[in-house]
Structure 1
């Protein structure tokens, strides 16, 4: 219960802080749009209450944004009526709800993190630069204008120079004092900021100073003018509200501008919620389709109340998170405070100095910049930091939408480059039939991958054997399919390249067929040497341990080995379920004879099986394979016994006794495992004159190895 109360109070404080900052921003954006000034407040109210209630985001704060001022001005000038424009705002809300139900919000997931980080840094820098004139008391430009080029033919930097020339000493003192208050409270007043955010302390200090300057310093440089204070309109509700002209609701131009608005504000909303999720300390994810529906509901409410369009706004979201907002109640409470300020307390709200609010925004902007891990961004490489820098600069010197588009365009260039350079490659494998090139196709192949695919196919050497494996591919674009088909039909035949294709879905019209002999032929078995078989085993184990198995066509191998088998190796291994020889060495059907017994020991029957495998079936290598954590060896170390298994355990104990010099139990087991492999190999030769003679004649080779069940690698013993 106490935890819920703390969250409620934290959200309430954050909502109050966002409300104080939102008031001048709402009014400023309304002025920039050349609409009734209260329209900005109604937009903020709708964004806070309606959008906040429907949204699934716990941090995002919605309201009017400077990003679509140009679209609003263009729509009103064409429609010749603000009341008719309100119908377009309602249509925008309707379209956004449709976008949400069509699940178009998923396109927001394609925004790269480099662009989002660039947006956050740019917004932080813009906040600092744009609020400097207001800190100096220069109020010639609207508070909510965040574009570099302003409506009065000036820009961000010229406004700063003008502000310095026309600075108001009273406003400057209030602004600097507010900044110092925020810094001091965050540094030394952490106990108090648990209950009241530092920004609220700064606003209270600003109100007191403004009241003092207005009442005690009249006629001096410290006197404050009404232009330097918040200015919420007051009067009867009939004068404040503006209603849509529903008589023109179905006009084509009204619907057209509604669709335009819906696209612009939806893009900004998706971008802002992505940025908000990045700022969220709990790293929660916003359901984007629900967010579009929430934005649509908010815009419909704003249009009905006479407000301008709204969207999720990074600035307010950042202040919400920075002020301790934990759930969406912070967003809703900020909307409630906005509504109360219009209906009940405009007189008291108009006592807040704009320079004090500018200090809050400057501090928030600084936090946005310093909280971005610039070192990690530049460490990630140019494919990350170039879109980041481009996004930051374009947003600062144009506006949010142009900056984001520029960043995404550069990101797309790097995607194209990456798809061309790194999408495809082939690996060389030593196979019993010779060297094989294998191409593992990725999960999805789009038209973007075609240049890389063609380049890779063209680089395959003449007279090669190649396997194109689509086993893990879910989608292949038609252009890529055509490239593969053309390679098989034309270039492969021209350059005598054997092409095998496996794993292709039947809808792709590519036959899955191994043109490379899958199983071991009699000729291969006859000509291969024992040492070459050992190399094949080592290569196969490496493929297994690195998760690059060759991918056998077992169906083809079953057909090819149905009449006869030509194994290359006989493996005597333990029966442990974790040590499967065929898998460990990436072997197919007909390549190995496997004898399995607990502890990989031998006796007359087992040795006879090995003789049969080498002398009769033609295997060139005998491998005794032990493994780490062997239960049979552990039982021998512990002097265990088990009815019929006792003779087997006693056989292993001979090897254990040779390791008596090892006193550590774990090391003893490991040494005994290796000694047991060596002893078994020696015992095989002692028991079998047939195999001994074949070794002397270099017809076969006997060796041992230990499989590590943790790493997947086999250690071959001398």
Structure 2
């Protein structure tokens, strides 16, 4: 792990600056104490990072759970009651890991995974545009209270804060210059990362412009970390679960919901992160569920939000050159040290600089060229990809993934319908029409319609050769169709020759009995 420390330390600093505003923002969106987001980030980095088998995945509070958390805190009667559900959710995740449920993540098509990454990238960009210009209102792509997208964009331009915008542009220029030019000029520019320079420039800009009424950045446009006066006030920021409500059925429903959604988000993130990893490491998914479960138990016990592996932090880690889990662990320690020692310095960082960092992360996830690449791969890849992106951007992360997966399943059904058999006609006419039908290796009930259509279209007085030599699995539904067709074939004077690895049979009396014998011999 320490062999790649020269790569991991700079990457951990970038992930730290990406994670800090995310921890606070997600806590705010969840209706939870701001400190709870930082707790989840610290545990996600140090504990989950240590236990996980992922070399480049980074865990922490996830935006995808914010709506669930916000609703649950209200319905369960307070944050301390909700923490019980977080702990129980972690226990359920441990059970998932022990039951080897991690394999579920591999059943999501790559087009859906890429759509998820792209959708998240677009959302990151949209969410950071207001902060980049010093405008506090969230940006969306649909009407809110009668306000259209155009109106929202105009509102941003009507409320531009000159200081925030200027340092945001400077920060963005530093990041692009560092990435495209300076990082290739010498090792010093690889050790000292662009985001660190951009953040340092932002702090300096804030300090020197405080007395300038035109360029001064107000506190609402700066990072806001709780500042403890002493150790007692620091410890006072922790919350603890109220286990007296553990018998409440609602607690268990929320716990199972959290465990299921957090596990699914984590497994999808693992799959996506492994695809982004230039070294193509493969994360052990069951171990990841065990690590996430342990992290959620600890987070819930000391007042933290639920944890998942997070694609934004993970992709920032990869893009910054992270090579081992040391990067995630160090980022967790940086969060811990910063909230204890330098909260006042952190509170001088303009949000527009952090927005510039996240705009670069979002762009790298949602590059325009990816749309063309997916289009060139054909409609079977492009449609699930596009539906996933649209669903995530316009509705919600899980809805988008669900829609993309549903379309992906429909595509599979269509291809299964088309590929269930191969039909070859050797002659045409009423007397000498010969048709050969070769069934695929696996034929299931999905293929009933296609096969039934071909059988019904056979002309009278024809000869059918049914070849099942390549077929290893034949669903009972298909066997019943063949058995029913044998009766109709006699009425239409259709002769059937069944060809299998056991030999040939003319007009077998019972296909069901024939395939039972075939399966026994196999």
Out of 7, 12, 23, the position equivalent to 1:10 is: 7
Q: Could you tell me whether the CA contact under 8 Å between 1:29 and 1:65 is conserved in 2?
A: yes
Separation of aligned partners in 2, 1:396 and 1:155 = 15
Q: Could you tell me whether the CA contact under 8 Å between 1:148 and 1:398 is conserved in 2?
A: no
- Residue 360 in structure 1 maps to residue 353 in structure 2: no
Deviations 1:374-419 (A, max 9, x none): 3331112222212222221221112211111122222222222222
Out of 193, 209, 218, the position equivalent to 1:213 is: 209
Separation of aligned partners in 1, 2:321 and 2:339 = 25
Separation of aligned partners in 1, 2:89 and 2:469 = 44
| Deviation, structure 1 residue 280 | 1.0
Cα pair distance change 1:478/1:193, threshold 3 Å: farther
Query: More relative contact order in 1 or in 2 (CA 8 Å, sep 6+)?
Result: 2
Aligned to 1:455: 453
- Residue 106 in structure 1 maps to residue 103 in structure 2: yes
Q: Could you tell me whether the CA contact under 8 Å between 1:438 and 1:469 is conserved in 2?
A: no
Out of 504, 514, 517, the position equivalent to 1:514 is: 504
Specify which structure has the higher proportion of helix.
2
Aligned to 2:520: none
Aligned to 1:594: none
Q: Could you tell me whether the CA contact under 8 Å between 2:85 and 2:251 is conserved in 1?
A: yes
Separation of aligned partners in 1, 2:336 and 2:149 = 32
| Deviation, structure 1 residue 157 | 6.4
Q: Could you tell me whether the CA contact under 8 Å between 2:497 and 2:505 is conserved in 1?
A: yes
Q: Within 5 Å, which residues of 2 pair with 1:143-542?
A: 159-190=152-183, 191=186, 192-214=188-210, 218-235=211-228, 236-370=233-367, 373-427=370-424, 438-462=436-460, 463-473=462-472, 475-491=473-489, 494-502=492-500, 514-515=504-505
Tell me the TM-score normalised to structure 2 length.
Answer: 0.87
Tell me the TM-score normalised to structure 1 length.
Answer: 0.65
| Deviation, structure 1 residue 437 | 5.2
Helix, strand or coil for the counterpart of 1:415? Answer: helix
Separation of aligned partners in 1, 2:261 and 2:490 = 50
Q: Could you tell me whether the CA contact under 8 Å between 2:464 and 2:494 is conserved in 1?
A: no
| Deviation, structure 1 residue 99 | 1.9
Cα pair distance change 1:166/1:147, threshold 3 Å: closer
| Deviation, structure 1 residue 360 | 0.4
Separation of aligned partners in 2, 1:311 and 1:153 = 35
Deviations 1:337-387 (A, max 9, x none): 112222332222222211111000011111222285333311122222122
Cα pair distance change 1:491/1:304, threshold 3 Å: farther
Aligned to 2:73: 76
Helix, strand or coil for the counterpart of 2:239? Answer: coil
Larger radius of gyration between Structure 1 and Structure 2: 1
Separation of aligned partners in 1, 2:43 and 2:140 = 24
Deviations 1:185-240 (A, max 9, x none): 122212233212222221122122122122xxx25121122222211112223321
Helix, strand or coil for the counterpart of 2:366? Answer: helix
Q: Could you tell me whether the CA contact under 8 Å between 1:492 and 1:499 is conserved in 2?
A: no
- Residue 21 in structure 1 maps to residue 18 in structure 2: yes
Aligned residues: 495
| Deviation, structure 1 residue 175 | 0.4
Separation of aligned partners in 2, 1:159 and 1:91 = 41
| Deviation, structure 1 residue 5 | 5.6
Helix, strand or coil for the counterpart of 1:34? Answer: coil
Structure 2 runs not aligned, ≥5 long: 508-522
Separation of aligned partners in 2, 1:287 and 1:378 = 31
Separation of aligned partners in 1, 2:296 and 2:144 = 25
Helix, strand or coil for the counterpart of 1:499? Answer: strand
| Deviation, structure 1 residue 454 | 2.2
Structure 1 runs not aligned, ≥5 long: 504-511, 518-718
Separation of aligned partners in 1, 2:143 and 2:131 = 15
Deviations 1:139-177 (A, max 9, x none): 345xxxx97679999787655433321111111111000
Q: Quote the RMSD (CA, aligned, Å).
A: 2.7
Cα pair distance change 1:102/1:384, threshold 3 Å: same
Separation of aligned partners in 1, 2:328 and 2:148 = 32
Aligned to 1:135: 132
| Deviation, structure 1 residue 439 | 4.2
Separation of aligned partners in 2, 1:336 and 1:62 = 13
Q: Could you tell me whether the CA contact under 8 Å between 2:12 and 2:330 is conserved in 1?
A: yes
Cα pair distance change 1:161/1:42, threshold 3 Å: farther
Deviations 1:266-294 (A, max 9, x none): 22222222221221112222222222222
